[in-house]
Amino acid sequence: MKSPSLQDIMAKVEALEGEIRLYRSVVEVIQEPFFILDRKGGFLKANPKGMETLGYPWEDLRKMVFTDVVALEELSRVSEGLGEMKQGQRIRLKTLLVSRRGEPIPAELFGTVREESVFISLIDLRERIEAEEEWERSKKALTEKIRERNQYARELQALKDLYREKVREIERMKEDAVLLSYVDDLTGIYNHRFFIQQLTLEVERQKRYPSPLCLLMMDIDYFKHYNDTNGHLAGDQALKGISILIRHAVRQTDIVARYGGEEFSAILINTVREGAREIAERIRRNVAETRFPNEKAQPGRDLTISIGVSAYSPSVSSITDLIREADNALYLAKKRGRNRVEG
């Protein structure tokens, strides 16, 4: 085989130098970090962006191989990639480089081989990673804000619920207070105050919507004798028992109250006199037929009740008139022997 002449060798050298000059001019204008390596990985060329990224001047890089700027934990993978390129393959991999000052540089590496040179381009991932981290921080901050907002909304709703519950509780307390102000402590039926208030309302109603209205005034016969004989505790129990008997004898729409002492009253709404007398008689009979402790010591050997009835009419059209007429009937029942209904 004929050996190449000196002229042939010089022609090849000139062609190679021309190709290198072309590579160098192209390399200069590439915006991403770009390097040309020899087959052994030594730096043949680095563009300004490449030197800026790694932090090495060209005087230093030309004495180094590419693996000198690869992080220790990535050496094996990058060396394997360089080996694949030498076999004609293109590679693309994410790796970690190290700058001159020892700063880590996450990067995406693209590599290919052209004749005797290895071309490496990099995408510096620091800004992307920083942007992703900033996005994650923003997302985390937003998530936290949403969590705080939801927590605030839950706490606000809990406060609103608590407030509403407290309002309801206060309303119940008010209702209880009003009810207590209208209820007799001993018997649990309405007291004199509520009786007067309701009788006033019913009398006023008659002026607009006339309807039958009657009133019962009731008094336990010889109650003082029962109290003195058996004691106040027994007397209190008798008052409670008789109040229950009265409530059971009237209708739900009627109003039963303790008028005072051993006296009771009942407002019978939409009731004519005959109906009122029937209710009064039922009350009288229930009391007379109920056995009370030691009632045999009573003058009539029973604990009984006398009842007076009054009815609303043109001549009996005020609270005073109704109470006075019922009281007069009650006095008549007492006068005629007690344990009876008059009016």
**Of 66 and 166, the one with more pLDDT:** 66
Residues 93 and 161 in one domain: no
Is residue 264 one of the residues assigned to a domain? yes
Q: What pTM value is reported for the model?
A: 0.53
Nearest to 307 by CA among 246, 254, 248, 247: 246
| Residue 107 DSSP symbol | E
Is residue 291 one of the residues assigned to a domain? yes
Give the mean pLDDT of 35-48.
91
- Counting the structural domains of the chain, the total is 3
Q: CATH number for the domain including 105? A: 3.30.450.20
Please say whether the beta carbons of 309 and 214 come within 8 A.
yes
Is residue 187 one of the residues assigned to a domain? no
| 71-75, 161-165, 263-267, range with the lowest pLDDT | 161-165
Question: What would the pLDDT profile of 310-338 be if each residue is shown by its tens digit?
Answer: 999 999 989 999 999 999 999 999 999 99
What residue ranges in the chain does DSSP mark as E strands? 34-37, 43-46, 91-98, 104-114, 117-124, 213-220, 255-260, 263-269, 305-311, 341-342
Phi/psi for 247 (5° steps) reads -60, -40
Report pLDDT for 163: 78
Read off the tokens for 13: 């050298």
Q: CATH number for the domain including 293? A: 3.30.70.270
Domain end among 83, 100, 124: 124
| pLDDT over 70 percentage in the chain | 89
Is residue 84 one of the residues assigned to a domain? yes
Residues 240 and 133 in one domain: no
Is residue 308 one of the residues assigned to a domain? yes
Angle between helices 273-289 and 232-249 (to 10 degrees): 140
Is residue 1 one of the residues assigned to a domain? no
Question: What would the pLDDT profile of 199-227 be if each residue is shown by its tens digit?
Answer: 999 999 988 888 999 999 999 999 999 99
Question: What would the pLDDT profile of 93-138 be if each residue is shown by its tens digit?
Answer: 999 999 999 999 999 999 998 878 899 999 989 888 887 778 888 8
- Domain range for 220 is 192-342
Residues 177 and 203 in one domain: no
Give the mean pLDDT of 76-103.
90
Please say whether the beta carbons of 219 and 330 come within 8 A.
yes
Residues 105 and 157 in one domain: no
Angstrom CA distances, 301 to 226, 280, 297, 304, 343, stand at: 11, 21, 6, 9, 25
Residues 197 and 108 in one domain: no
**Of 269 and 134, the one with more pLDDT:** 269
Domain end among 155, 182, 209: 182
Report pLDDT for 157: 87
Domain end among 182, 200, 225: 182
Is residue 107 one of the residues assigned to a domain? yes
pLDDT of residue 10 exceeding 60, the answer is no
Instruction: Identify any residues that bridge with 226 across adjacent strands, giving them in sequence order.
Output: none
Which residue numbers are catalytic? 262
Is residue 315 one of the residues assigned to a domain? yes
Cα 341–280–294 angle (5° rounding)? 80
Residues 241 and 323 in one domain: yes
Please say whether the beta carbons of 160 and 166 come within 8 A.
no
Nearest to 342 by CA among 266, 286, 284: 284
Report the SS3 class of residue 21: helix
Residues 149 and 169 in one domain: yes
Residues 169 and 298 in one domain: no
Report pLDDT for 14: 59
Residues 39 and 94 in one domain: yes
Residues 196 and 336 in one domain: yes
Question: What would the pLDDT profile of 132-187 be if each residue is shown by its tens digit?
Answer: 778 888 888 888 888 888 888 888 888 888 878 877 876 776 665 566 678 998 99
- Give the gyration radius of the chain's Cα atoms: 56
pLDDT of residue 1 exceeding 60, the answer is no
Report pLDDT for 5: 56
CB atoms within 10 A of CB 139: 10
Residues 206 and 253 in one domain: yes
Residues 197 and 327 in one domain: yes
CA torsion sign for 20, 21, 26, 32 is positive
pLDDT of residue 11 exceeding 70, the answer is no
